[in-house]
Structure 1
Amino acid sequence: MIKKEQLAIILVISLFFFWGLIHNLDPILIKHLRSAFSLTHFQASLVDSAVFAAYFLLAIPAGMIMKKYGYTKGIIIGLLLFATGCFLFIPAANTMSYTFFLGALFVLSCGLTILETAANPYITVIGDPAKATQRLNFAQSFNGLAAFIAPIAGGYLILAEEPKGADELAALSEEARAAYIQAETALVKGPYLMLGLIILFVAILFAFSKLPEVKEKEGAKEVGFWGALKHKNVSWAIVAQFFYVGAQVYVFSFLLVFAADALNMQGQEAKYYAGAAGLAFMLGRFIGSFFMQYIAPYKLLMIYATLAAALTVFVIYGTGMATLYALVAITFLMSIMFPTIFAIGLTGLGPATKSASSLIIMSIVGGALLPMVASKITDYTGNIHLSYFVPLASFIIVLLFAFSNRKVKALPADDDRVN
């Protein structure tokens, strides 16, 4: 019979898969909407901005929800918002409004913000604190599994045919162009409707499952947001996560755009490289979780960040298919960064954990801002290779984070407990 703690881990791991699925549909969505609405690189990057702006605006309210209602009720609230955002894709497609799509993504991402604020710390405090980083990396591995599945499935369902180019669209009559945009936007309705229904079902499972709630050590005083910031590893994690997420989002979201701009590759072919990137990301998580049994997490993070920076330099100055292969390799190296930064940032916090989790989730707004900066570089210079100076700087900051927090230690096992 499954214990409450084991059931909690299984259900929470499913959340990592689902939000990984939605995030890794974004590159498909960006390419699809960019073609349908004839968007610039900067305008297309607003997809990421709509998604990750929610993390900035909702992270602290999400933390307040955790404090008042606990992790499990917070997760249910997040799932309901997640499903609502998925359902809003239907009227967005019917109205053929790019702004409506961005609004639907924002609502969906408000749900994801609450889910991540709850699930990331929840998985770290269920079980042995000494294995919190390894446990979070394992859970995040299913996020990587979604990164592998989403580009291929999304490419098949949403990019069923190669979108028309700007010249082809310009040659169409106004009525034909409107009919084309309607047909293209309608392709997203089925996948997001199905996902919304699945998420509702998961919310019902959480509502009727008696999962353990986490309580701090008896007599411990709850620590607010400013108190959490006093911990060096928290403040460092906020900065590192801001830059890391910005790099991850840009590398994944614009991989198809890079293939088209730098290599003149069609979307139907490029989607397999996006799938390969997702597979590399997934394998990196599982392999990283294994290595953490023998290598300290901060050391592995330093190694991965150094190699990622080196490959990014090659993407900037290299040419040909080798640069696309380098981007795929970078996704492998990025795999352990988010959970490792997150776990190190929460190490040794006790009653400050929920507040610190909100602040670190809030820093995910880097995914909204840095892709915009990188896209502006592409639009201004006409050279997408140069935009990868933004991920390069980000990986250097992650390297500095790992080195600066190499002495952070976990609390004893009885500082947090599950009831």
Structure 2
Amino acid sequence: MASQPSSSSVASSATSHIASSAGNQHQSALVIVTLLFFMWGLLTSLNDVLIPHLKAVYTLSYVQAMLVQFCFFGAYFIVSWPAGALIKRIGYQSGAVTGLVIAAVGCALFYPAATSGYGVFLLAFFVLASGITILQVAANPYVTVLGDAKTASSRLTLTQAFNSLGTTIAPALGGLLILSGTVLTAAQFDALPEVEKLAHRAKEAAAVQGPYLALAAALLVLAVLFALARLPKIVHQDEVQAASTTATGKDDSVFSHRHLVLGAIGIFLYVGGEVSIGSFLINFLGEAKIANLSAADAAHYVSYYWGGAMIGRFIGFVVMRKVSPGKALAFNAACSIVLILLAIFGTGAAAMWALIAVGLCNSIMFPTIFSMALKDLGRHTGQGSGVLCMAIVGGAIVPFVQGYFADQIGLQWSFFVPAVCYIFILFFGLKYAGMYDKSAY
């Protein structure tokens, strides 16, 4: 995705223990959990293919097309708290199975949506994202407990890499399976007789049915595997304190930590900027003065955008062992701003590759902002993690805002919206550049 919440942030507010110690069982369980990371990366990134497809099928404005991301990422905000309560009640393993089943139902809803209209598609996106949200809350902690605590970081890197692999494969796969049909311009579509318009719209809408039914089946298979797997039991022990007081004896709240509040804004804007660029990239590459690519051909380049994030994570892992997270974050944000400005004011291949290269800069941003925002929260770490997860709703709001400006001032100029998002991230990185050297707040 778009990027997902860090497993370490979820586990930091709890004490975990393992009910089974068999190494082979842990390896099998890790394979299943890694598949989950891959699947939700694939499902999230497929939105970038479906947005231009549905925009063409239903002759939508950019604002109307961005309702896809609004419904999808809006689920993070609405479902996160209920998901936490559900997991607490039924347990992590049952919660993951529930999330997979709900996500499968969301995928299956794409079949009737193809014959029912855009509104049912939006419902399907919301249901699908609700399942993914529950799945994330349930599955993330397993990565830290499936093996030796000393190698938890390597396991996190592995699962995150497979998440990025999913986001990289999805656009190319979606372009092949969904965008390979006949594409008509708005003028060509309007010139068709009414009967042919209906037939063309039905044919193009039906292109999503087969792929999403296959995804529904895959999710159900994973649900069965997860239900049958002998996974470690994670016990969440609530922190018990007689009173919520600081060292000075005064009451405090999670929102009294300024770096957390600014970090939540950073997560909101980062996810929004990343998702917004991915959502408009196919249409941007289709512009005559940029690359004039068909939707199917442009979809392959969206894979490069998300693939850059995968490569950048491994580069960042090495670099940030010597460079402070804040400075690395500020550098990447500054590079993103420059690249977006090149895409706004440029033309041809230079503008195309500039926007695609933002994906490489995005790589370290989510985990870096997340960890910086949670630093030294102590007993508020759990609450802070919840606040940051809810901030992912930026993926619903920012693309919607850019869609409005794309309709008003043109698609290329509308990319100033994600540029503004990265300006705040630059500020956040610079403000807390010395966070790990001294108390910066």
Q: Which TM-score band (shorter chain)?
A: 0.7 to 0.9
CA deviation after TM superposition for structure 1 residue 288, in Å: 2.2
* Separation of aligned partners in 2, 1:69 and 1:310: 48
1:275-313 deviations in whole A, cap 9, x for unaligned?
Answer: 222322221223223334443433322221121122122
**Does structure 1 residue 249 correspond to structure 2 residue 270?**
no
CA deviation after TM superposition for structure 1 residue 17, in Å: 1.2
What are the equivalent positions in structure 2 for 1:9-408 lying under 5 Å apart?
9-95=30-116, 97-120=117-140, 123=143, 136-215=156-235, 220-221=240-241, 227-261=253-287, 262-263=289-290, 264-349=292-377, 352-381=380-409, 383-406=410-433
User: Which residue matches 2:14?
Assistant: none
- 8 A contact 1:54–1:106 mirrored in 2: yes
Identity %: 39
- 8 A contact 1:42–1:379 mirrored in 2: yes
* Separation of aligned partners in 2, 1:359 and 1:126: 26
User: Which residue matches 1:417?
Assistant: none
With over 3 angstroms needed to count, the CA separation of the structure-2 counterparts of 1:239 and 1:124, relative to structure 1, is farther
User: Partner of 1:254: helix, strand, or coil?
Assistant: helix
Larger radius of gyration, structure 1 or 2?
A: 2
CA deviation after TM superposition for structure 1 residue 37, in Å: 0.7
Q: Which moved more, 1:71-80 or 1:127-136?
A: 127-136
Paired residue type of 1:255: L
CA deviation after TM superposition for structure 1 residue 236, in Å: 2.8
* Separation of aligned partners in 2, 1:82 and 1:146: 16
Relative to total residues, which structure has the larger helix share, 1 or 2? 1
With over 3 angstroms needed to count, the CA separation of the structure-2 counterparts of 1:133 and 1:316, relative to structure 1, is farther
**Alignment TM-score, normalising by the size of structure 2:** 0.83
Paired residue type of 1:336: I
**Alignment TM-score, normalising by the size of structure 1:** 0.87
CA deviation after TM superposition for structure 1 residue 137, in Å: 4.8
* Separation of aligned partners in 2, 1:272 and 1:98: 25
* Separation of aligned partners in 1, 2:360 and 2:333: 11
With over 3 angstroms needed to count, the CA separation of the structure-2 counterparts of 1:299 and 1:58, relative to structure 1, is same
* Separation of aligned partners in 2, 1:232 and 1:208: 44
CA deviation after TM superposition for structure 1 residue 89, in Å: 0.5
Structure 2: 5+ residue stretches without partners = 1-21, 245-251, 437-441
* Separation of aligned partners in 2, 1:122 and 1:342: 19
CA deviation after TM superposition for structure 1 residue 392, in Å: 1.1
CA deviation after TM superposition for structure 1 residue 66, in Å: 3.5
Q: Paired residues, what number?
A: 407
Paired residue type of 2:282: L
User: Partner of 1:374: helix, strand, or coil?
Assistant: helix
* Separation of aligned partners in 1, 2:242 and 2:320: 31
* Separation of aligned partners in 2, 1:361 and 1:163: 38
* Separation of aligned partners in 1, 2:146 and 2:430: 27
- 8 A contact 1:58–1:114 mirrored in 2: yes
